Amino acid sequence: MKKNKTNTFYIRFFLIVLFLWIFISLGRTFYNVSKVVTEERAYIGLSDTEKRVKIFGEKYEMILFIQEKTKPSDNIVFFVSDTDLFWNMYFLNIYYLYPRKITNLSDWNEFTNILKMSNHKYCVVISKKTKPFILPGKYKKIDMYEGMEFVLTLYKIL
């Protein structure tokens, strides 16, 4: 008799846990579906590029500018004078400009040393719009992208 009561207790306990588990799972599923309607509505119908521009803003537009002006096999060195922008652009450049070989630098001396002794084909200088930066030396200015806050200048290394 005692064994039968313990078996019944375990079966009831198992059923309660199972129903609670199903209830929580269904609740989480409905919550995730509701997020599509509320949070992701702005992204439905947009292309991948439009979504990335909406998420990253002019940083992604800068990346598209560089993709348009360079070949996938090129080596590019970036000099970003603003520290905050450097860390924002660091991984975006590496990820979205792949298979191009990217070198990101924020130190001017290191940048000039890399330019002298490397095999980079292009260099990109990103500076604040209030302090535009012109690269002196044997470099051909290819094009310039002006955003709201930053100026990107693409140079070909001769």
pLDDT in tens, 80-125: 887 777 877 888 889 999 999 998 888 888 888 888 887 888 988 8
Task: Kindly report the backbone phi and psi dihedral angles of residue 148, in degrees, each rounded to the nearest multiple of 5, phi listed first.
Answer: -70, -40
Average model confidence (pLDDT) across the chain: 86
- Among residues 85, 67, 84, the alpha carbon closest in space to that of 76 is found at 67
What percentage of the chain exceeds 90 in pLDDT?
Answer: 32
What is the β-pairing status of strands 150-157 and 75-80?
A: unpaired
What is the β-pairing status of strands 75-80 and 122-128?
A: parallel
> What pTM, to 2 d.p., does this model score?
0.71
**Beta carbons of 80 and 107 less than 8 angstroms apart:** no
Helix spans in the chain (H): 2-38, 48-56, 58-69, 83-96, 108-117
Report the C-alpha gap between 88 and 92 in whole angstroms.
Answer: 7
Q: Residue 129's pLDDT band (boundaries 50, 70, 90)?
A: confident
HSE-CB of 117 using CA atoms within 13 angstroms: 4
